[in-house]
């Protein structure tokens, strides 16, 4: 068989006899006349098939329109007279909505027609989403070419891309997509690329819609050694394959009745895998003493048989076939008892084509497109799949691409200096694996949204040089997140609303000192009025200590060497508490046991119950923080344990226990005198001040109450439970949350 015989080659404008029947269903067909000028009617009825073709303008944002040279217009009928070409950008893509999981016939057609008058045949690549589909080389193909596949999209958005690979400009004439039935052309793996589809007839017509309900194109094919036969009888149809009636009512058989019917083809690549579909129907009236029976062989191996064709039948490959040396020979050989030669009505050859690369996570593609639309971005490179193939990744993105079968995820979004206006796009929250976000140097307004804090993977945000206002949400003050926000004059740090400040750094310090002073007043009043009758109270101000601390929210680069040193195994924790022998208290998060480290140092071990809502990551972050906190008025953390689900915090032992007992004279404790009470108030305030000013990032105690102020052997106050309460998430809410660990009325006033 001559390979040029119309395979992958479009023969347009020959004196083809097209059978036009009343238009049938064409539901779901997407038929695009690429480059149809805006002033022409769209959709229009194509003259041969009666199908409705539309302009491609709404399916692609880039490219220019052209049309074949006027002297060729008579040869190419619509929709092949016009085309879209792509002088800009490496990859340009059509975006089409399809039914995910359903088989589709996807066809692309290319007719150069010297549209640019330069007479240089284009050569470029065709991609289906992130996967290469074909190389289109129009050299010497003056009548154009087409590529066709049977494919099941894995996503509801299908992208067909033209990728520039050399000097020439990619172009396309028509793009056609047709949904198919499910129960035909099934493969073990991969999709099917059309190699050849013919019906055996000595006519010169080809068949399309409406003869073929799916608008498959069937070329007539015939050889000299054959005799044509045809019938006007109804021969039925092949279930699932729905052949054109004409293809089934005509057939060929070898003129020499004892010779086989042979079809041959070859391929440059001997590794090519094929699926074959042979369609048969008996169309002769057999005598009672006649038998037609034959075997089907490929390169001498029997594929199927013996077959007695009667009603329409399709013989198909259930697994891919290969041909030795790349030369394929399909033979139909009559059996010895057959009185008639074999016949064949139609057949199809497809090559297996794999599209293994997964498309980027659908939600994230939708999100990034929403972002693009929100800001009215138009980047020539933002077409096709955002992440893959790697060399065509969108500018300003980076992705995690693990393996070919895992959908890539977007990890970086850089839209700095992009002229963005409006607020920070809500769609960013759908990039759930984002690590780096750079929106710096734009004109963004409004507040820094809370949702950014819910993207747990974020490590870096640069929103410098915008016009944002309000305060920074608590959820963005994570230790492992670097937030840069210089150059937003109306954006203030935690808890300090939009007053203009001279220097940003001073604000948290001033605020903290002020609040520490307020706290002292509150505490003193509290301690004084707790038990006794009111009396005049002198408020003692703390020494105005102002450590020159750089209050930024940077993640500290040095790894926690300390952490390793102070990490205990669960068995060590069991040993130090003598199997949790002495339970000394119980809190919202679990029990507290007494224990000893190294045989002498006394400790309190706080076991975090598994029902606690605290996530492991928060626990780790918390431990890291607490290990860096050192102050004489804070209970020191000796170590911690995080072995699988066992989480425990080990604190220094504070012998005189809770202040509460000493105020009420309960639990065998003595009632402390006024001098000591006042000193305890000041010491507790100093501990709080250290949390607010001395820590990076600052910490907020949310539970300042007398049971959380512990007294050492000299009745020196030590704050406990700091920080831990802060990191208990309550329903994802990072504003004031007092339900789990905090106690209403015991919150830092600035935080409240
Ligand atoms: C293109 O089609 C014309 C008829 O329209 C035919 O004469 C010519 O041979 C074809 N060219 C090729 C390369 O097949
Ligand atoms: C195709 O098959 C899938 C699963 O077998 C089914 O969900 C889908 O509805 C089918 N589509 C059609 C058009 O029959
Ligand atoms: C096809 O074959 C039939 C029967 O042999 C013959 O009558 C007819 O002229 C042929 N048609 C063409 C186009 O060759
Ligand atoms: C017919 O085919 C048979 C088997 O291929 C062959 O032996 C015979 O010579 C052929 N006859 C003619 C007349 O070609
Ligand atoms: C079959 O029967 C017909 C008469 O009905 C006869 O002409 C023909 O030769 C027979 N064919 C064979 C192969 O016996
Ligand atoms: C993208 O991420 C990979 C690793 O995730 C990194 O090696 C690469 O340098 C990043 N590319 C850009 C442009 O940031
Ligand atoms: C985020 O994704 C969900 C699920 O696809 C969608 O319903 C929602 O509208 C998206 N949110 C934004 C802001 O785009
Ligand atoms: C953050 O953005 C600002 C403004 O574009 C820029 O000057 C600065 O270098 C950026 N910082 C980092 C760490 O990228
Ligand atoms: C922000 O907008 C103003 C005018 O509204 C413009 O002058 C300025 O250049 C813009 N800044 C950036 C960074 O785009
Ligand atoms: C931030 O600015 C917007 C207008 O750009 C305004 O509507 C909003 O109230 C401001 N928010 C705060 C906290 O000042």
Q: List phi, psi (to 5°) of 436.
A: -130, 130
> Do 72 and 112 lie in a common domain?
yes
Q: Which two tokens stand for residue 377?
A: 């971005």
* Beta partners for residue 750, in sequence order: none
Compute the radius of gyration of the chain from its Cα atoms: 39
Do residues 377 and 292 share a domain?
no
Confidence of residue 5 (pLDDT cuts 50, 70, 90): very low
pLDDT for 534 equals 36
pLDDT over 70, % of the chain: 81
Active site includes 438? no
Residue owning tokens 């119309």: 6
Q: Are residues 347 and 366 in the same domain?
A: no
Query: Residue 221, CB half-sphere, CA atoms under 13 Å: how many?
Result: 23
**Is the C-beta atom of 101 inside 6 A of ligand 2?**
yes
We report the CATH number of the domain holding residue 274 as 2.60.120
Lowest mean pLDDT among 441-445, 599-603, 707-711: 599-603
Reply yes or no on whether the pLDDT at 561 is more than 80: no
Residue 731 has pLDDT above 60, yes or no: no
**Would you put residue 509 in left (φ > 0), alpha (ψ -120 to 50) or beta?**
alpha
In a domain, 281, yes or no: yes
Residue 493 falls inside a structural domain:
yes
Q: What is the CATH number of the domain that holds 641?
A: 1.10.510.10
- CA terminus-to-terminus distance, the chain: 85
Dump pLDDT digits (tens) for 353-409.
999 999 999 999 999 999 999 999 988 899 999 999 999 999 999 999 999 999 999
pLDDT at 613 over 80: no
Query: 547 with 686, same domain?
Result: yes
Domain range for 124: 34-182
Q: How many angstroms separate the CA atoms of 79 and 49, rounded?
A: 12
CA of 203, nearest ligand number: 3
Q: Are 664 and 677 in contact (CB under 8 A)?
A: no
pLDDT at res. 751: 65
* End-of-domain residue from the set 457, 482, 503: 503
Q: Atom 2 (ligand 5): residue with closest C-alpha?
A: 289
* Cα 224 to ligand 5 centre (Å): 27
For residue 384, the CA-to-ligand 6 centroid distance in Å is 20
Tokens representing 720 are 């406990």
Ligand nearest to the CA of 409: 6
Measured in residues, the chain has a length of: 752
| pLDDT at site 663 | 85
Domain boundary among 133, 157, 182: 182
Query: CB-based burial of residue 123 (10 Å sphere; 0-12 exposed, 13-18 middle, 19+ buried)?
Result: middle
Buried b (16+ CB within 10 A) or exposed e, 543-566: eeeeeeeebebeeeeeebeebeee
- Between CA 562 and CA 559 the distance in angstroms is 9
Residue whose C-alpha is closest to residue 581's, from 592, 597, 571, 589: 592
The residue nearest atom 1 of ligand 10, judged by CA position, is 446
For residue 631, name the pLDDT band (cuts at 50, 70, 90): confident
CB 529 within 8 A of CB 522: no
The confidence score (pLDDT) of residue 637 equals 82
Q: Is residue 8 part of a domain?
A: no
- Whose alpha carbon is nearest atom 7 of ligand 2? 101
How much is the pLDDT for 687?
A: 86
- Whether the CB of 28 sits within 6 Å of ligand 2: no
Whether residue 709 sits in one domain with residue 653: yes
Residue 394 CA to ligand 7 centre (angstroms): 21
Residues 414, 555 within the same domain: no
Of the bound ligands, which one is closest to the alpha carbon of residue 433?
Answer: 6
What pLDDT was estimated at residue 596? 87
Global pTM value: 0.67
Ligand 1 within 6 A of CB of 75: yes
Residue 154 pLDDT more than 60? yes
Q: Is residue 481 part of a domain?
A: yes
- In this structure, the number of other CB atoms found within 10 A of the CB of residue 50 comes to 16
736 occurs within a structural domain: no
With a cut of 50, say whether residue 197 has pLDDT above it. yes
Count structural domains, the chain: 4
CA distance 453 to 469: 17
Average of per-residue pLDDT across 654-675 = 81
Q: Are residues 563 and 433 in the same domain?
A: no
Verify that 584 and 565 share a domain, yes or no.
Answer: yes
CA-closest residue to ligand 10 atom 14: 470
User: Is residue 495 located within the same domain as residue 548?
Assistant: no
Mean pLDDT value across residues 262-266: 95
How many percent of the chain have pLDDT more than 90?
55
Q: Are residues 458 and 343 in the same domain?
A: no
Residue 342 CA from chain centroid, whole number: 53
Cα dihedral 447→453→459→465 (10° resolution):
0
Distance 201 CA to ligand 5 centre (A): 28
Q: Six-digit token pair at 114? A: 């010297």
**For residues 593 and 606, what is the distance between their CA atoms, to the nearest angstrom?**
6
Residue 45 three-state SS: strand
| Torsion sign over Cα 550, 553, 558, 564 | positive
The whole-angstrom separation of Cα 553 and Cα 530 is: 39
Q: Residue 394 C-alpha to ligand 6 middle, in angstroms? A: 13
Interval 531-541 mean pLDDT: 37
pLDDT band at 177 (very low <50, low <70, confident <90, very high): very high
What is the DSSP code (8-state) at residue 498? S
Q: How confident is the model at residue 288 (pLDDT cuts 50, 70, 90)?
A: very high
* Predicted confidence (pLDDT) at residue 556 exceeds the cutoff of 50: no
DSSP state of 452: G
Q: Is the distance from the beta carbon of residue 255 to the nearest atom of ligand 4 less than 6 Å?
A: no
Same domain membership, residue 178 and residue 200? no
CB atoms within 10 A of CB 19: 14
**Residue 164 forms part of a structural domain:** yes
Verify that 290 and 375 share a domain, yes or no.
no
pLDDT average, residue stretch 155-177: 95
Question: For 234-253, what is each residue's pLDDT tens digit?
Answer: 999 988 899 999 999 999 99
* Nearest CA residue ID for atom 6, ligand 10: 446
Torsion over CA of 316, 273, 176 and 141, rounded to 10 degrees?
Answer: -120
Decide whether any atom of ligand 4 lies within 6 Å of the 256 Cβ: yes
Note whether residue 17 is domain-resident: no
| Of residues 186, 175, 188, 123, the one with CA closest to residue 147 | 175
Last-in-domain residue among 124, 148, 182: 182
pLDDT score of 257 more than 90? yes
505 lines ligand 4 (CB under 6 A): no
Catalytic annotation, pick one of 703, 712, 721, 748: 703
Average pLDDT over residues 4-31: 43
Closest-lying ligand 3 atom to the alpha carbon of residue 227: 5
| Interaxial angle between packed helices 674-689 and 506-531, expressed in degrees from 0 to 180 and rounded to the nearest 10 | 160
Phi/psi of residue 372, nearest 5 degrees? -60, -45
Whether 715 is in a domain gets the answer yes
Mind listing the pLDDT tens digit for each residue in 43-96?
999 988 999 999 999 999 899 999 999 998 888 988 999 999 999 999 999 999
How far from chain centre, in Å, is Cα 409?
A: 5
| 235 DSSP β-pair partners | none
How much distance in Å is there from the Cα of 426 to the middle of ligand 2?
35
Chain-centre distance of CA 213, in angstroms? 36
> Of 64, 79, 237, 204, whose CA–CA distance to 144 is shortest?
79
CATH of the domain at 469: 3.80.10.10
């Amino acid at each position: 068989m001559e390979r040029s015989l119309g395979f992958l080659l479009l023969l347009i404008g020959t004196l083809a006899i097209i059978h036009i029947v009343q238009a049938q269903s064409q539901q779901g067909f997407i038929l695009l006349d690429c480059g149809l000028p805006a002033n022409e009617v769209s959709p229009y009825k194509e003259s041969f098939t009666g199908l409705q073709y539309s302009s491609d303008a709404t399916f692609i944002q880039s490219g220019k329109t052209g049309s074949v040279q006027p002297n060729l217009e008579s040869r190419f009928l619509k929709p092949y007279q016009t085309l879209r070409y792509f002088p800009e950008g490496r990859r340009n893509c059509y975006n089409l909505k399809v039914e995910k999981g359903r088989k589709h016939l996807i066809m692309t057609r290319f007719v150069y027609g010297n549209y640019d008058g330069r007479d240089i045949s284009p050569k470029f690549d065709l991609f289906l989403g992130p996967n290469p589909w074909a190389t289109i080389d129009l050299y010497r193909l003056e009548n154009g070419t087409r590529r066709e596949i049977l494919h099941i999209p894995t996503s509801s958005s299908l992208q067909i891309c033209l990728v520039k690979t050399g000097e020439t400009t990619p172009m396309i004439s028509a793009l056609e997509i047709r949904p198919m039935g499910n129960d035909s052309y099934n493969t073990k793996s991969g999709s099917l690329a059309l190699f050849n589809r013919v019906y055996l007839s000595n006519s010169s017509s080809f068949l399309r819609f409406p003869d073929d309900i799916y608008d498959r194109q069937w070329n007539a094919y015939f050889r000299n050694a054959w005799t044509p036969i045809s019938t006007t009888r109804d021969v039925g149809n092949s279930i699932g394959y729905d052949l054109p009636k004409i293809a089934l009512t005509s057939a060929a058989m070898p003129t020499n009745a004892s010779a086989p019917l042979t079809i041959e083809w070859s391929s440059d690549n001997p590794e090519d895998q094929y699926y074959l579909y042979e369609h048969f129907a008996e169309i002769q009236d057999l005598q009672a003493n006649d038998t037609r029976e034959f075997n089907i062989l490929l390169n001498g191996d029997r594929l199927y048989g013996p077959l007695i064709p009667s009603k329409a039948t399709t013989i198909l490959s259930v697994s891919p076939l290969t041909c030795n040396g790349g030369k394929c020979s399909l033979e139909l050989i009559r059996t010895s008892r057959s009185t008639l030669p074999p016949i064949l009505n139609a057949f199809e050859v497809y090559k297996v084509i794999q599209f293994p690369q997964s498309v980027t996570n659908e939600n994230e593609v939708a999100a990034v497109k929403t972002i693009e639309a929100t800001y009215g971005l138009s980047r020539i490179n933002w077409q096709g799949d955002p992440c893959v193939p790697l060399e065509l990744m969108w500018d300003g993105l980076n992705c995690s691409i693990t393996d070919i079968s895992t959908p890539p995820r977007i990890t970086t979004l850089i839209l700095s200096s992009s002229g963005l206006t409006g607020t920070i796009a809500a769609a960013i929250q759908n990039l759930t694996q984002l690590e780096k976000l750079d929106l710096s140097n734009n004109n963004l307004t409004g507040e820094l949204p809370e949702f950014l804090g819910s993207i747990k993977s974020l490590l870096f945000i640069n929103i410098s040089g915008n016009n944002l206002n309000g305060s920074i949400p608590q959820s963005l003050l994570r230790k492992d997140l670097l937030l840069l926000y210089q150059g937003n004059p109306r954006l203030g740090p935690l808890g300090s609303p939009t007053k203009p400040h001279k220097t940003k750094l001073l604000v948290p310090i001033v605020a903290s000192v002020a609040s520490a002073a307020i706290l002292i007043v509150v505490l003193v009043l509290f301690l004084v009025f707790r038990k006794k009758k009111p009396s005049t109270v002198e408020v003692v101000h703390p020494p105005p200590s102002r450590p020159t601390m750089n209050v930024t929210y940077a993640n500290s680069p040095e790894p926690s060497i300390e952490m390793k040193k102070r990490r205990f195994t669960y068995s060590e924790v069991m040993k130090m508490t003598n199997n949790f022998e002495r339970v000394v208290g119980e809190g919202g998060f679990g029990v507290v046991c007494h224990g000893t480290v190294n045989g002498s140092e006394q400790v309190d071990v706080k076991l975090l119950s598994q029902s606690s809502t605290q996530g492991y990551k928060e626990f780790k972050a918390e431990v890291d923080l607490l290990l860096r906190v050192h102050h004489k008025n804070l209970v020191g953390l000796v170590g911690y344990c995080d072995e699988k689900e066992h989480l425990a915090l080990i604190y220094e032992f504070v012998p005189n226990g809770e202040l509460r007992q000493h105020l009420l004279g309960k639990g065998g404790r003595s009632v402390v005198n006024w001098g000591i009470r006042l000193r305890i108030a000041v010491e507790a305030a100093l501990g709080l001040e250290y949390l607010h000013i001395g820590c990076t990032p600052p910490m907020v105690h949310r539970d300042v109450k007398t049971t959380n102020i512990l007294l050492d052997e000299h009745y020196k106050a030590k704050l406990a439970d700091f920080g831990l309460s802060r990191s208990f998430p309550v329903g994802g809410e990072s504003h004031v949350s007092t339900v789990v660990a905090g106690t209403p009325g015991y919150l830092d006033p600035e935080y409240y």
